[in-house]
Chains A and B, each alone.
Chain A
Amino acid sequence: MKRHLPLIALALALAWVASTLVPRGNPGPFDLGAFGRLPVLAGGRIKPLDTIARTGLLMLQGRQRAVAPNGKQVTPEEWLLDVFFIPDTADAYQVFRIDNPDLLSIFSLARADGDGGVRFSYRQMQAGLDELDRQAHLAEPVENAERSAFQRAVVELRSHVEFYVRLKFGLQAPGIADLAAELSDSSRIRALHGAFESMDTFSSLRAIPPGRASADPAGWQSVGHSLLGAASPSDVDPHALMYAALGNDWRGSQPAAFDAAVRSYGDELSLRFPAAARRARAEASFNQAEPFITSLFLYVVAFLLAVISWLAWPEQLGRAAFRIMGLAFLVATFGILARMWLEGRPPVTNLYSSALFIGWGSVALCLVLEQLHRNAVASAAGSMIGFGTLVIAHHLSLSGDTLEMMRAVLDSNFWLSTHVVTVTTGYASTFLAGFLAIIYIVRGLLTRSLDQRTADALSRMVYGIVCFATLFSFVGTMLGGIWADQSWGRFWGWDPKENGALLIVIWNAIILHCRWGGLVRQRGMMALAVFGNVVTAWSWFGTNMLGVGLHSYGFTDAAFYGLITFVASQLAIIGLALIPLGSWRSFRGSKA
């Protein structure tokens, strides 16, 4: 049993990973999966309705799970269908997350009124929406970095309400009971002109495909826009009619008609727009498989196995940890490749994907290190970073679609794949050196498990990774300078993000020169490497919080306290490293 432990662990993990890839069935008679795979144009790209539903729920309330007003747990698709077709019911879903207590007072709400104390429904907020609007107008002229917590919460909730209202106008206008019936009568079509105009103005979706097959997404229209061009029932676009009938089927609980309509429309799109339909189907499956969540759990298991291996069964548990980390890495690789294919871009395009890639890069290095040293240290560090970066990525995904379109200035696949990937690898390796150093400090100081051989191996690893980090952060930073020179005419502009990258380069150079000059030994180098975590975290997130400069694309407010906590923890670990070696449990007695 003990001998086969690594294999058994791997087999169990594999079975679990396989189970996540099996498509989940529909909870009821409606083919919600087929509905979720239907493509629409939103946010500048064609994506499945499943993505709209999931990113919408994540953005509004921080999770994909929704609970219907009748207490039943529903899938994201069911919530979206209610928003489209039964807005009265949708308004009662408690899906708006409000954390700021001052914001609650706008709506005269108390914590006790909300689901879990933080989630409230559109209906609960309705009476205070005018006041929210007024407060948002007051807050908007204030620059992002200077807004108070209340102002930021106001602006955020206002944008969530707007997102929700726009969705309600996506396929039909609220207030029209039976759009399909209205569309069968010319006089009614004329009478509803105003409603169609509202739909065209407010809808964030363009659900009607172009008449002729074309790869240009600009041909997609909103339902409202399409209906505005119709004078009589014969002019109405068949797809607008299909969606109107779908509304009736959903409201009237007609699964057979619903499924038939959704499937035949899906088939039609596969014929006319094979590439877009294929991507939408793949994206919906990708959403459902949630590879990064799977990977996250595997990293936790790998980390625990690695740490336990220092106390018992080093060989077997260490190998099990290595294999499970390897599996987690493969799953994450698959996820990143899938995103690259969906987007047609290099791996790092925004803050979210930088988190994915930093974790991926660190783990890749750890797989190599672990092969060289086989002491579970690199497995522990790698799975810790893998886990941490995926948690960060999850929190970053709460701001909306993570496959967003690139702004003009960033729209250069060449520079995204050279500068961004290289500099992100620099971040990843600097973090890795820091986390390896943390293992050295914590194990050495608090346990007796850090023998001299492991300590020396760790020292070599940290030194090697710092060299690697110096190379990549330097080359990445310089490539950024060259991009800047090519794009806006200066090699170096002392922009906060540029400065942040430069700080990483300088810090790595400091570590190397301290080591070469004999200014520090093992323990000192470890303390310096941990501070590398602080420098890198600052460059990655802190600079975005300043809200100035050309790179301020990823302002994240909630991350601020996370960053402060992280920095404090790293400083505390550096403080521990300063305790003289005589008091370290691993080195007590031996002269190190």
Chain B
Amino acid sequence: MNQEPTASRPGTGGPSFARTVAASLASLQLTVALLGLSLAMIFVATLDQVHLGVWGVQQKYFHSFFVMAKVPGTDFTLPVFPGGYLLGGALLLNLVTAHASRFRLSWRKSGIWLTHAGLILLLIGEGLSGLMQRDGQVRMDVGQTRRYVESFRESELAVADVTNAGYDDIVAIPVDRLTGQNVIQHPKLPFTLKPVAYFPNATLRMRSQVPNAPPSMATMGDGTEMVAEPAPMTYKPDESNWPTGYVELAGPEGTLGTWLVSALLDEPQTFTYQGRTWQIALRARRDYLPFTLTLGKFTHDIYPGTDIPKNFASTIRLRSDDGRDDRSALISMNNPLRYGGFAFYQAGYANNDHTSVLQAVRNPSWQIPYASCALIALGLVLQFGISLFGFFRRRAGPAPRPAAARSAPSSP
């Protein structure tokens, strides 16, 4: 048997605690255990997607150190299973220590080295993507110009000074700040904002339709005529959460009133203070781009006589702020536009084919998986090729002795 040496090699020095730990960290048993745990975790996570949706499952299982579960009947959560970061990190550690302690560089093992190097790169790349990838969407009607990407899930409270005709001066406050009690103060704002209430998801109805509603917390703006009712968070792919809250604005002379702010309100609410005009809105978080996109044309082809989509395509005019780029680009299925660190994909359409929805992704580490895949594929081909070559050479040689025939090529 051409057995690979296992970690617990006897006779390599006295038993010490550090050595034992290092040996277990590098052991194949640990590899198998970690792979088995990953298998179980991915399987359960796949099943859970029916309830949580893809995004919820990513947060709960893959982008976490532990999978937490609620103790029935309480709000208390306990770790019940290792999460993706922990398993991925442990596999990484296992691989690195195994190579540091066990593997010797040899031609026969070159495929394994390449494969494992690629795997290390893949795990690192996935970790980086999890940390750095930002995605959002750009919705445009035909003829419209956009210079920002809207987040799918994150919201912000935007307070804008719109007095000047040429530009808006915007202060964007992450909604996390609305969940606290602290008064928000900003050098560009002549007033403070005090969170009064915040719901991650809510429904809005006209006050006239809810006869027994309690009096509104809002004293100013549209909210005085509306009733906001908190709703449970949704994780379904075709539903959105509608964050809603109340904020009280106050100047040095005292309160200016309380506004209802909600992602459900289409238009910002306008008010004047100290001779300047202001707008306040709770909206999807915006990342501004150093260039603009203008939707020239949107086409939605179907196969004749059916409603099966054949292709979606947006013709975009791209203009950079520095004036260096001014060109048109076609974004269609399987054919994205990469520009300025972003990639824009044709994601959907709305409004009877008048609105095109592009998905925008910014991931500085997007090329890592390509490199790691190439490494692993090369490594596997090399390793199994060496095994196969050995197998055929043995077959071509003299008939194997019965004892030799029994040992399958157990090691690559």
Interface residues of A (CB under 8 A from B): 41-45, 145, 204-206, 217-218, 220, 222, 372, 404-405, 407-409, 411-412, 415, 452-453, 456, 459-460, 463-464, 467-468, 470-471, 474-475, 478-479, 481-483, 485-496, 499-500, 502-503, 506-507, 509-510, 513-519, 522, 535, 538, 543, 546-549
Contact = CB atoms under 8 A, between A and B. Distances in A.
B376 A490 contact: no
A543 B377 contact: no
B101 interface: no
Contacts of A522: 408
A502 B360 CA distance: 26
Contacts of B58: 494
A405 B311 CA distance: 12
B380 A474 contact: yes
7 contacts: A45-B303, A407-B308, A475-B373, A488-B345, A492-B369, A499-B45, A519-B29
A490 B408 CA distance: 41
Contacts of A516: 4, 28, 410-412
Most chain B beta-carbon neighbours within 10 Å: one of A405, A407, A494, A538: A494
Contacts of B54: 493-495, 548-549
Given A494-B57, A516-B412, A546-B49, A220 B304 contact: yes
A517 B4 contact: yes
Contacts of A485: 366, 369
Most chain A beta-carbon neighbours within 10 Å: one of B27, B43, B408: B408
Contact of A411 (B29, B35, B334): B334
Interface string B201-238: 00000000000000000000000000000000000010
B345 A546 contact: no
Nearest to A519: B32
Contacts of A145: 50
Interface residues of B, number: 72
Nearest to B7: A517
A412 B335 CA distance: 10
A412 B334 contact: yes
Given A490-B135, A549-B49, 18 more contacts: A42-B305, A43-B306, A44-B306, A404-B308, A411-B334, A460-B408, A467-B384, A468-B384, A474-B380, A478-B377, A486-B336, A489-B336, A491-B369, A494-B61, A506-B42, A516-B411, A543-B46, A548-B237
B377 A499 contact: no
A482 to B, nearest CB: 7
Contacts of B4: 516-517
Contacts of B32: 510, 513-514, 517, 519
Interface in B298-327: 301-306, 308-312
Contacts of B28: 513, 516-517, 519
Contacts, number: 191
Interface string B317-354: 00000000000000001101000000101010000000
Given A464-B391, A489-B135, A506-B38, A220 B409 contact: no
A464 B390 CA distance: 12
B310 A405 contact: yes
B346 to A, nearest CB: 9
A411 B312 CA distance: 11
Contacts of A404: 308
A434 to B, nearest CB: 16
Most chain B beta-carbon neighbours within 10 Å: one of A372, A515, A519: A515
A453 B401 CA distance: 11
B406 interface: yes
Contact of B305 (A206, A452, A486, A489): A206
Most chain A beta-carbon neighbours within 10 Å: one of B333, B363, B405: B333
B409 A460 contact: yes
A548 B49 contact: yes
Nearest to B6: A517
A42 B54 CA distance: 35
A485 to B, nearest CB: 7
Contacts of A42: 305
A329 to B, nearest CB: 22
A162 to B, nearest CB: 13
A570 to B, nearest CB: 15
A415 B334 contact: yes
B62 interface: yes
B304 A206 contact: yes
Given A463-B409, A474-B376, A494-B58, A489 B343 contact: yes
Interface string B54-74: 100110011000000000000
A519 B133 CA distance: 39
Contact of B376 (A456, A478, A513): A478
B50 A487 contact: no
Contact of B408 (A412, A456, A500): A456
B39 interface: yes
Nearest to A412: B334
A204 B308 CA distance: 13
A204 B305 CA distance: 7
A514 B411 CA distance: 11
B132 interface: no
B361 A500 contact: no
Going nearest first, the 5 A-B pairs with the smallest beta carbon separation are A44-B303, A517-B28, A489-B361, A478-B373, A218-B304
Contacts of A407: 308-309
A481 B384 CA distance: 23
Contacts of A415: 334
Contacts of B93: none
B83 to A, nearest CB: 13
Contacts of B391: 460, 464
A411 B310 contact: yes
A463 B304 contact: no
Contacts of B347: 488
A335 B47 CA distance: 36
B46 to A, nearest CB: 5
Nearest to A43: B306
Interface in B98-122: none
Most chain B beta-carbon neighbours within 10 Å: one of A44, A453, A459, A522: A44
Most chain A beta-carbon neighbours within 10 Å: one of B36, B39, B370: B39
A509 to B, nearest CB: 6
B336 A494 contact: no
B104 to A, nearest CB: 15
Contact of A503 (B39, B50, B309): B39
A510 B305 contact: no
B51 to A, nearest CB: 10
Contact of B369 (A452, A453, A478): A478
A500 B39 CA distance: 10
Contact of A217 (B47, B304, B311): B304
Given A456-B406, A471-B380, A474-B377, A487 B3 contact: no
B388 interface: yes
Nearest to A45: B303
B305 A44 contact: yes
Contact of B312 (A408, A475, A482, A513): A408
Given A452-B406, A491-B366, A481 B373 contact: yes
B62 A494 contact: yes
A220 B305 contact: yes
B359 interface: yes
Contacts of B336: 486-487, 489
Nearest to B84: A494
B369 A411 contact: no
Contacts of B141: none
B248 interface: no
Contacts of B366: 485, 491
Nearest to B52: A548
Contacts of A515: 410
Nearest to B300: A408
A506 B35 contact: yes
A407 B35 CA distance: 35
B201 to A, nearest CB: 20
A482 B135 contact: no
A483 to B, nearest CB: 8
B381 interface: yes
